Amino acid sequence: MVAFALAMASEADDYRDRELGPIHLLKYLYLGDLAFAEINDGKSYSEAHWRFYKFGPWSAEVYEYLPRAGEVAGANVRHFESIYSEDGVRWSLPEPSNVDDIGSQLPPIVARAIKESVKVFHNDTYTLLHYVYRTAPMLTAAPGEALVFQVREEAGKYATTTPESEAPRKISKTQLKRIKERVRSYLADRGAHRKTVSPTVSYDADYFEILDLLDKEAGETIEESDGVLEFSTEVWKSEARRGSGIP
């Protein structure tokens, strides 16, 4: 699974997208396991134990095996200083590999999940984490708890968008040119019919009386204060987390 994710990354047009760190690889393996579990009675392909961690789905055993997996895949390793100790390393293949050959060694549904995810997110940590945090196992667990993979019917209750649907829609150069022309035409037409109006304001008694009424409508001034806002741990099991349109 690691080799396949790195092979997919090696095909990226931008060389900066060809490197993957521990967080990225962990999430791609998680998404592969998640897809496999949906049609295999909730059992993951890697058989790793996944938990709700501060960086989303996390498996200590997978994390510890990543250096060995990268070595077996023939990946180059780049170390760098980082405030995140878990993320001070990147792996990349020296040249594009035969993706089809590596993918054929995985169940089709696992290969497809990893392939689609890498093509969409590459090494964009922010959007990748945002996506995995919205998957069903994460939405039904609290920090520190083991993640439970549901079968497809149950997972559908908390269905999220697929990686492909989160990818930006591609627009051809011809379509882009037509859109620009329509916008220019609209703005030109709008500007031709717009008249500049400079209203005359009378700062009389009525003016200040209205301001006073508006201030009273807004209510009393809120005094500044500081403190600690605490949320109940029950929020993790709240239906609000599993509602549609989660920001």
Question: What is the predicted pLDDT for the residue at 34?
Answer: 96
Q: Classify the phi-psi angles of 245: left when phi > 0, otherwise alpha if psi is within -120 to 50, otherwise beta.
A: left
Instruction: Give yes or no for residue 61 having a pLDDT over 90.
Output: yes
Q: C-alpha angle 72/78/79, rounded to 5°?
A: 115
Question: What is the predicted pLDDT for the residue at 171?
Answer: 62
For 138-193, the DSSP string reads HHT--TTSBP-PPPHHHHGGG----HHHHSPPP--HHHHHHHHHHHHHHHHHHHHH
49 C-beta neighbours (distance < 10 Å), count: 13
Percent above pLDDT 90 for the chain: 49
Place 165 in a pLDDT band, splitting at 50, 70 and 90: low
Largest CA distance in the chain: 82
Instruction: Give yes or no for residue 183 having a pLDDT over 90.
Output: no
Q: Which of these ranges, 44-53, 80-89, 154-163, has the smallest mean pLDDT?
A: 154-163
Instruction: Give yes or no for residue 59 having a pLDDT over 60.
Output: yes
Instruction: Give yes or no for residue 245 having a pLDDT over 70.
Output: no
Instruction: Give yes or no for residue 198 having a pLDDT over 80.
Output: no
Q: Which residues of 172-208 are buried (b: 16+ CB within 10 A; e: fewer)?
A: eeeeeeeeeeeeeeeeeeeeeeeeeeeeeeeeeeeee
- Whole-number Cα distances in Å, 180 to 171, 173, 176, 185: 12, 10, 6, 9
Question: What is the predicted pLDDT for the residue at 193?
Answer: 65
Q: Which of these ranges, 4-8, 129-133, 222-226, has the smallest mean pLDDT?
A: 222-226
The helix-helix angle for 60-72 and 2-9 (nearest 10°) equals: 60
**Of 198 and 16, more confident:** 16
Place 104 in a pLDDT band, splitting at 50, 70 and 90: very high
Question: What is the predicted pLDDT for the residue at 169?
Answer: 57
Question: What is the predicted pLDDT for the residue at 153?
Answer: 60
- pTM of the shown model: 0.70
Place 173 in a pLDDT band, splitting at 50, 70 and 90: low
Instruction: Give yes or no for residue 168 having a pLDDT over 60.
Output: no
Name the most confidently modeled range: 87-91, 127-131, 192-196, 215-219: 127-131
Q: Are 20 and 5 in contact (CB under 8 A)?
A: yes
Q: What is the CA radius of gyration of the chain?
A: 26
The whole-number average pLDDT for the span 114-138 is 93
**Of 82 and 140, more confident:** 140
